[in-house]
Each structure stands twice: as structure tokens, then as C-alpha cells.
């Protein structure tokens, strides 16, 4: 398939495993090398900042578009203007994260929107594939919505869990349990692909084939169809 842009969902905190940030940077660097645009949640802290800054490349000429609700933008803190300031933000933990984030051109272009629904719809429309790295409630909600949209036939775009150091093992066990108990079909279980390396994520996207057995519903009356 032809890929021009990839949406990455991930935590705005760094987590407590150094591999998370390292692998986020590797994925961002690969997106830069491929010339693919990164679409992400607009934060400059934690894993969000790691993947975005890496996708910008050392010359800061990458294609990165952050989309963030106004309520999550830090108004009182100055955007970081050097690498030291950015590195401090990338290492932010959940214990010292207050929910908002400063903006920075080091992490690409940013569009500020009014609400979460607008953010998610814009991210979906701009993306040819979806990837979930480690994260919390927001990451889980966002990737599960993309999975549900695929099952309902709203889109057929690749969906990949970046299972760094087994982070998503428990979610994969949950999906398997739902299949075994008759709530998800075997074919729809294949909507979600899994990779444990950055290159593996890219390979899964390129090789993705939407499984048969998804619902074939008519979404033509949707005001804004995320397939387009």
C-alpha cells in the first residue's frame, strides 16, 4: 500500500522504562528517513516529544503535524528553544506531568483545536496508518476507537501495536480472551497487528491487508468520513 502519513498514539510521559523513549526515537527517525509524515497529539513531553523530535530529523526539516486541544496547551511556560530544554521535557514522568504541554517548533507544526473530538477526527483524516506505542488511558482510548472503526468498515487502514518490551502483552491477552468468548471474531482479531521493533512497525504497515469478515456498512452519510 502507499503510505504518506502515520498517526502515532503514545504517552505524554516518558514511563519508567528507558526503552520506551529509545524505541520512540527510532520510530520517529525511520519516519523521517522514509519521508512519511508523522501525525500525533501535539505534545512535546514524554514519548510524544521523543517520536516527534526524532521525526523532525537533525536538520528540523521533517514532516510532523501535532494536533492538540487548546485546553492541553501550556500557556504560562515558554516553549523550549534548545535541545537541553527539549530533553528535559522528554524525560517528564507521570508524577510531575500536570496534563498540559508547551509547544515547540522542534516537534513540528502544531494545530490547536477546540476539543478532543475535533482532534481525533483530524488525526484520523490525515493518516494512512495508526500505531500505538506505550501510553495510558488516552492512548488506549484512541487506538481502540481506530480498531472499532475498522471493524465497522469506516476505514481499512493498518493498525499496529508497538509492543515495546511486552508492554501490550496484557491487552493482547484481553483481545484473545474476547475472541475465545465469542465477542470478537477470529478474522477481526487480525485487524490489530503487533511489532516489537521500530522496523517491525514499518514492515507491518507496508504489508498490511485488512482482514475479511469486517462489517460492510454504509457510512456515506457521515459528515466527515475518516477514510478521506
- What is the 3 state secondary structure string of 98-144? CCCECCCHHHCEEEEECCHHHHHHHHHHHCCCEEECCCCHHHHHHHH
Note the pLDDT of residue 96.
Answer: 57
Note the pLDDT of residue 220.
Answer: 73
Alpha-carbon distance 77 to 100, whole Å?
10
Q: pTM of the predicted model, to two decimals? A: 0.87
Q: Name the stretches of the chain with pLDDT < 50.
A: 77-78, 81-82, 84, 226-228
Among 225, 146, 123, 152, smallest CA distance to 193 is for 146
Instruction: Pinpoint the alpha helices (H) of 152-224.
Output: 169-180, 198-207
Domain extents in the chain: 5-168+184-207
Note the pLDDT of residue 93.
Answer: 62
Q: Which CATH architecture has domain 5-168+184-207?
A: 3-Layer(aba) Sandwich (3.40)
pLDDT digits (tens, 9 = 90+) for 118-146: 999 999 999 999 999 999 999 999 999 99
Q: For residue 76, give every residue at least 6 positions away whose Cβ sits within 8 Å of its Cβ, in sequence order, or none.
A: none
Note the pLDDT of residue 144.
Answer: 97
pLDDT digits (tens, 9 = 90+) for 57-90: 999 999 999 999 999 887 654 455 445 455 555 6
Alpha-carbon distance 22 to 99, whole Å?
22
Amino acid at each position: 500500500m502507499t503510505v504518506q502519513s502515520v498517526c502515532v498514539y503514545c504517552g505524554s510521559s516518558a514511563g519508567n522504562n528507558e526503552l520506551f523513549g529509545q524505541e520512540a526515537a527510532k520510530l520517529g527517525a525511520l519516519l523521517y528517513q522514509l519521508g512519511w509524515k508523522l501525525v500525533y497529539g501535539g505534545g512535546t513531553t514524554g514519548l510524544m516529544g521523543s517520536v516527534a523530535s526524532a521525526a523532525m530529523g537533525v536538520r528540523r526539516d521533517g514532516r510532523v503535524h501535532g494536533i492538540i486541544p487548546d485546553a492541553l496547551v501550556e500557556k504560562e511556560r515558554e516553549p523550549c528553544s534548545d535541545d537541553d530544554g527539549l530533553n528535559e521535557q522528554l524525560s517528564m514522568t507521570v508524577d510531575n506531568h500536570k496534563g498540559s504541554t508547551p509547544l515547540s517548533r522542534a516537534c513540528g507544526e502544531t494545530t490547536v483545536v477546540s476539543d478532543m473530538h475535533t482532534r481525533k477526527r483530524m488525526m484520523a483524516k490525515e493518516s494512512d496508518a495508526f500505531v500505538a506505542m506505550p501510553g495510558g488511558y488516552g492512548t488506549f482510548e484512541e487506538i481502540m476507537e481506530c480498531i472499532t472503526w475498522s471493524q465497522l468498515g469506516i476505514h481499512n487502514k493498518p493498525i499496529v501495536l508497538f509492543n515495546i518490551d511486552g508492554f501490550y502483552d496484557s491487552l493482547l491477552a484481553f483481545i484473545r480472551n474476547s475472541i475465545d468468548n465469542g465477542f470478537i471474531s477470529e478474522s477481526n482479531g487480525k485487524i490489530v497487528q503487533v511489532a516489537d521493533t521500530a522496523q517491525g512497525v514499518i514492515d507491518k504497515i507496508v504489508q498490511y491487508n485488512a482482514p475479511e469478515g469486517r462489517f460492510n456498512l454504509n457510512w456515506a452519510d457521515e459528515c466527515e468520513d475518516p477514510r478521506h
